[in-house]
Every structure is written in structure tokens, then in C-alpha cells.
RNA sequence: UGGGGAAUCGUUCAAUGGUAGGACAACGGACUCUGACUCCGUUUAUUAAGGUUCGAAUCCUUAUUCCCCAGCCA
């Protein structure tokens, strides 16, 4: 990614780095890493971390490694590795040849453990999981030392080797760091650093039956890669003393420094892996790339751009306060980006038929329309106009309120890019009494001009030609949850799913120009919002996802939600 | 309850002993062939109480509130 694409910024982590650079710590080197576990898809919260780690590397001419933190084979898979790589690339970041796997370090990490045993700093413990828990103590009481704590180095070495050789059942023994069972920090009470797990690993297959724990593997992986700043989230603050203890015992010279920041929370969604997995597994959504999901792949399918996501990550900043970011900020960022780059188009979501009585039966005109009102470089396109049109149902009211400036009995309105038309009469369905058709007349003088008599026509509505438009499916998305913080309540978050988070409209009409629009291309449907061509599109029958609505000050007045 | 963190507009981020500022949101208004965009304007904050100081969001003291930790998850 080029320098220009990076949003440079300042925060408490960058302050630390700049201080270090001043004193030439780490010989002026800046090395970070993004270390996801490949057991799920990455989401907008990960994107914050990606932007932070890769952004810092770019800002200080350093490096950022991509490292798959795959030390627990349960749930990890190549599918997730591939999705993570795809998503980070799409976000616009590059790690060159520095793609690493913690699993590639298993042998080295094993040797580090042997070293720890030899120096008397680790022992094989044969307590059961329950016993370990019981003996760990509580917040207020110290733990008890394991009866196996003082095994000889020789016995430990032998046992650990036999653990590796597969002589024992899962859970029969663990390797524990010998630290302090009385530590007020529970993390330091002789933490388990290796466990036996007879689970095939997606990369090392059945080569290993013991796997290092996060606390042991992560800091050593950082050290092996020469990481200078190991940036992680707040919940690892308690683990930092252990991080420093392990590195202090095993690594000489320059050591990585762990710095913690607050993870992102976003209103009206959930960002915990556990909850996201539940949404997918129990079919509350249609997969990881469901456009309602806060996953990178979901947002991509929805129509978000990498630029918008990066802007958002820059806007929210980095600090140590717990936060709940208003999703309105995310929406603002995508509108800002798409406003600049999305060509305009017209689409009628809920059609109402309009006949222009004084327009000749077989006449057809082509109007040249700007693709972007502020950017002429985006060119023009031709839009067909004819006697029968569709307009939005919401753009006609029988008994409109005062400030409504669209169509109604006795009213005039401007058809966007076309003529001013005037209401003449309506046709009702005999049975339902519903208005099914409008008859209007047009003013031929108003094609590219205001009415000759100087009268004001305040309203402008969008439309398509009935004959020359293409049927489309449009999927309207709303927030996945109906409360701000579904993750916080004691109640099951599933109870707060928004039942109206997806509305599928199958009778829409879009202008002919979009008949073969390619997947992932974004448009602004004027007066409606930004839309993105979904991958479910088939030739000639486009499917659009609504990325986000336009800001709508009329909706604020009426309280109505959308079209 | 022991330990580790954090408290600043509605939401967020800043101000590093010297004018509390930005963004989003909200609310007015201007403009407009998108009730969009853009532009102009307005409202709103230092958790509390003491102290140090010419001067405190910042330093000290005492409270209060919230988050994290008792996985052989990360």
C-alpha cells in the first residue's frame, strides 16, 4: 500500500514509539504484527487492530507481520486462514513475505520449554484439571503449591519428552511455569504452558499431541520474529507480567514490549467471536458474509469500501477507555466515501404507475444525464423517457401534509433529469381501493429549464420508464440488533435480534444502464441511498444490496424510517 | 472480596501545570433538478469532595462508578 493511502495519526501507542525512536531503543526499528487465531472470520474490531499495526509500520518505516496464532487446533482451519488473508488484503494492507504461523515455531517453542525446565523454572504437573482449579486459590486466598512442583529436572525432562511422545492421555499432565502460587495476580500462579491435546492440527496434522498455551507461544513468537511492539487488547493486561517473565527467562538482548489498547465495540451489533459464530452456526444470518454481519467479508458484500473502513478506524482513535462507538459514525464514513465515488442512478423500489396523458403514445426520448452532480469527469449516460413511467409510491400522497413537496392532487413535481409533471387524476383498484395508477400531464418547456411563467416547483422525484427499465431485486438491510449494546445485557443477545434487519424487495425497477452492472460495483440510487451489486446477480437480473441510506431530513420530520 | 486497568460534551478522541478543542450525533439556517452533497451557525463535558499552586482535566489525598482476571481458550 502506498504512503498516500495510509492515514497517519497520533495516539498513546505512537507516542511511546516516538519516545523510543528518540532514544534509539530497538536501534530505531519498529516491528509490529497482527496475530489472529484462524478459528473465525475477522470483523470490524479486527480491522481496528489491522489498521493500527499496519498503520504504525507504514508510518515509521517499519514492518508488520501477519502471524496466524494457531496454537489450539480445535476449531482452526485453512478456510479461516484463507479468509483472513483475503480480508486483510482487501482492506489494503500488505505483509510482503512475512506471513508466519505460530505452528511453524512448535519445535523452537518446545526447545524453549526444555530450557525452562533445565533452569528450574518449569515442571510437569500431574494434577487433574479440577485439582488445578481447586488449588489455584481465589481472588482473596493464595493458591496451594502442586505436589509435583519439586520434581527433579531429570524427571521433568523425561516426563515432558514422554508427553510429546504421546505416552499419556489428554489432560493427564501439563507443563507449568514455576512462578508464585501466592501471587495476587492469578495469571502468575504457576500457569500451564503446555497441555496434551490429541487433536489433529490443520497444519501439523498429527505430528504433535502437546500444544503450547497462548501465554507461552505468543511472547516467544514475538521474540523470534523480532517484534518490538506487541500490541493487543486490554484483557491481556493481566498477562503482561507473565509475558515479561517468560521473555525475561528465555530471551537475551532486545525484547518485545506488550502494549494494550481498548478493543472496539460498535452499537447495534456484536463483535465477540463466540457470538458471531453462534449467529452463523444457528442460521440467524446466512453465513459469515451475510451483509448484516460486522465481519469484513460481510461488510464487503454489503458494499462498504476499504477506504471507508480505514477512515472509520482512523476516526475512532486508539485509547484505553472502554467504548461503544455509534454505528452512525461508520455510516458517515461510508457515505462520505461513496458520495465521492459512486455514480448516480435511478431505481424505483416500490413502483407506482404513472401515465403522462399528453405525451405521444409511441414517442421516446433519450436524456443525457450527469453521472455525478459535482464531478463532470464521471461522464454522462442516456436515460429513456416515455409515456408510462414508474415512480416511488411514497412520492405520491392523497392527503399530503403541508411541507410535503412531491406529488398529490393538484400538485406539480419535477421528474429528476426530465420534465415537470402535473397531477390530473388517479385510478383505484376496485376491490382494495388502493391507488394503482396516476394520470399526469407534462410541461414540454421544462426539459432543461424552469417553468416559463416563473412558478416554483420545489419537489424533485426519481422515476424510470416502464418499458425501458430492468426488473431488479433489492435487499434492504437494517441493524442486526434492536438495542445499542446487545452484548452487555445479562439476557441472551439472541433475544435482541432485529426482526426487520432484512427486507427483500422483488418488484423494483432500475434504469437500463445497470442491467449488466458488475458485482461489487456501487451506485447511489438518487434520493434512496448507496447500493452495491450483490454476487447473487445473474445476467440481466441484477440484485442490489443497500449499503446505507442517504441522510434524510424529511424522514426526521415525519418519523418514517425508509422507503 | 485480592490484583490489574479506566473515568473529559449524547458518543468518541484530544488538551502532557497556562484560552477545555476536533469528529460523529442533535438542533437552526443558506443553497439545491437528489428533502443528498456543500456552506454558515447553535447547544452540550473535566465522576465527587478536599488539598498543593499565581494558575489544576493534568499534581497530591480520600471516596465513587465502570471494565478485566480464578480455561489444560486466545
Q: Give per-residue pLDDT as tens, A113-141.
A: 999 999 999 999 999 999 999 999 999 99
User: What's the whole-model pTM score?
Assistant: 0.96
Q: Which of A53, A49, A18, A46 is nearest to A32 (CA)?
A: A53
pLDDT at A4: 44
> Which bases of chain B are under 7 A from a protein CB atom?
1-8, 10-14, 16, 22-27, 33-38, 66-74
The span from the CA of A30 to the CA of A259, in Å, is 14
pLDDT at A450: 87
Angstrom distances, CA of residue A519 to CA of A66, A361, A523 = 29, 36, 11
ipTM of the complex: 0.97
Per-residue CB contacts under 7 A with strand B, chain A residues 453-482: 459-461
The span from the CA of A334 to the CA of A550, in Å, is 11
Is the Cβ atom of A552 within 7 Å of strand B at any atom? yes
pLDDT at A5: 54
A83 Cβ contact partners less than 8 Å away, ≥ 6 residues apart: A41, A42, A288, A297
The span from the CA of A467 to the CA of A540, in Å, is 15
Residue with minimal CA–C1' distance to B10 is A326
DSSP code at position A66: E
Q: Give per-residue pLDDT as tens, A533-558.
A: 999 999 889 999 999 999 999 988 88
Please, are residues A347 and A464 in contact by the beta-carbon 8 Å criterion? yes
- Grid cell for residue A87: 480480508
In the complex, which nucleotide's C1' lies nearest to the CA atom of residue A138? B70
The span from the CA of A491 to the CA of A481, in Å, is 13
* Partners of A261 in beta bridges: A233
Helix (H, G, I), strand (E, B) or coil at A165: helix
Helix (H, G, I), strand (E, B) or coil at A470: strand
A33 Cβ contact partners less than 8 Å away, ≥ 6 residues apart: A53, A64, A65, A66, A67, A100, A222, A225, A227, A230
**Environment class of A34 (CB within 10 Å of its CB; exposed 0-12, middle 13-18, buried 19+):** buried
Is the Cβ atom of A133 within 7 Å of strand B at any atom? yes
pLDDT class of A455 with cuts at 50, 70, 90: confident
* Partners of A381 in beta bridges: A369
- Grid cell for residue A5: 493511502
Catalytic annotation, residues of A: 37, 263, 273
pLDDT class of A2 with cuts at 50, 70, 90: very low
Amino acid at each position: 500500500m502506498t504512503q498516500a493511502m495510509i492515514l497517519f495519526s497520533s495516539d498513546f501507542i505512537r507516542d511511546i514509539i516516538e519516545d523510543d525512536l528518540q532514544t534509539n531503543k530497538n536501534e530505531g526499528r519498529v516491528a509490529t504484527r497482527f496475530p489472529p487465531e484462524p478459528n473465525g472470520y475477522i470483523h470490524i474490531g479486527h480491522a481496528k487492530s489491522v489498521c493500527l499495526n499496519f498503520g504504525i509500520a507504514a508510518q515509521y518505516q517499519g514492518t508488520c507481520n501477519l502471524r496466524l496464532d494457531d496454537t489450539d487446533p480445535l476449531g482452526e482451519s485453512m478456510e479461516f486462514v484463507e479468509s483472513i488473508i483475503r480480508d486483510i488484503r482487501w482492506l489494503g494492507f500488505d505483509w510482503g513475505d512475512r506471513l508466519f504461523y505460530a505452528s511453524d515455531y512448535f519445535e523452537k517453542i518446545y526447545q524453549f520449554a526444555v530450557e525452562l525446565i533445565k533452569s528450574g523454572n518449569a515442571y510437569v504437573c500431574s494434577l487433574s484439571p479440577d485439582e488445578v482449579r481447586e488449588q489455584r486459590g481465589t481472588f482473596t486466598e493464595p493458591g496451594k503449591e502442586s505436589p509435583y512442583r519439586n520434581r527433579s529436572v531429570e524427571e521433568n525432562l523425561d516426563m515432558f519428552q514422554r508427553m510429546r511422545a504421546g505416552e499419556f492421555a489428554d489432560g493427564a499432565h501439563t507443563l507449568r511455569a514455576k512462578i508464585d502460587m501466592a501471587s495476587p495476580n492469578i495469571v502468575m500462579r504457576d500457569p500451564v504452558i503446555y497441555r496434551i491435546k490429541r487433536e489433529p492440527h490443520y497444519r501439523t496434522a498429527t505430528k504433535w499431541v502437546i500444544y503450547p498455551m497462548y501465554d507461552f507461544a505468543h511472547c516467544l513468537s514475538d521474540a523470534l520474529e523480532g517484534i518490538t511492539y506487541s500490541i493487543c487488547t486490554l484483557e491481556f493486561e493481566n498477562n503482561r507480567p507473565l509475558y515479561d517473565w517468560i521473555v525475561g527467562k528465555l530471551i537475551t538482548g532486545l525484547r518485545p514490549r506488550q502494549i494494550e489498547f481498548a478493543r472496539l465495540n460498535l452499537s447495534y451489533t456484536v463483535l465477540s467471536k463466540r457470538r458471531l459464530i453462534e449467529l452463523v452456526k444457528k442460521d440467524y444470518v446466512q453465513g459469515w458474509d451475510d451483509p448484516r454481519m460486522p465481519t469484513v467479508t460481510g461488510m464487503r458484500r454489503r458494499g462498504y469500501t476499504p477506504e471507508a473502513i480505514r477512515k472509520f478506524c482512523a476516526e475512532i482513535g486508539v485509547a484505553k477507555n472502554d467504548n461503544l462507538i455509534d454505528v452512525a459514525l461508520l455510516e458517515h464514513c461510508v457515505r462520505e466515501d461513496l458520495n465521492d465515488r459512486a455514480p448516480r442512478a435511478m431505481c424505483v423500489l416500490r413502483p407506482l404507475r404513472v401515465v403522462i396523458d399528453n405525451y405521444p403514445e409511441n414517442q421516446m426520448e433519450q436524456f443525457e444525464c450527469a453521472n455525478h452532480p459535482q464531478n463532470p469527469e464521471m461522464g454522462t449516460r442516456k436515460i429513456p423517457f416515455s409515456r408510462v413511467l414508474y415512480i416511488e409510491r411514497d412520492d405520491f400522497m392523497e392527503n399530503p401534509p403541508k411541507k410535503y413537496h412531491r406529488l398529490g392532487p393538484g400538485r406539480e413535481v419535477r421528474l429528476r433529469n426530465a420534465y415537470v409533471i402535473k397531477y390530473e387524476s388517479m385510478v383505484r383498484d376496485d376491490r382494495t381501493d388502493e391507488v394503482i395508477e396516476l394520470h399526469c400531464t407534462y410541461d414540454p418547456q421544462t426539459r432543461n429549464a424552469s417553468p416559463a411563467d416563473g412558478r416554483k416547483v420545489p419537489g424533485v422525484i426519481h422515476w424510470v420508464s416502464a418499458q425501458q427499465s430492468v426488473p431488479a431485486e433489492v435487499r434492504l438491510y437494517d441493524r442486526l440488533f434492536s438495542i445499542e449494546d446487545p452484548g452487555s445485557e445479562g439476557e441472551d443477545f439472541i433475544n435482541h435480534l432485529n426482526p426487520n434487519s432484512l427486507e427483500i424487495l422483488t418488484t423494483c425497477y432500475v434504469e437500463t444502464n445497470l442491467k449488466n452492472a458488475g458485482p461489487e460495483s456501487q451506485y447511489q440510487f438518487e434520493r434512496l441511498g448507496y447500493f452495491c451489486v450483490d454476487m447473487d446477480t445473474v445476467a440481466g437480473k441484477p440484485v442490489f444490496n443497500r449499503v446505507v441510506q442517504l441522510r434524510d431530513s424529511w424522514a426526521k420530520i415525519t418519523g418514517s424510517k425508509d422507503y
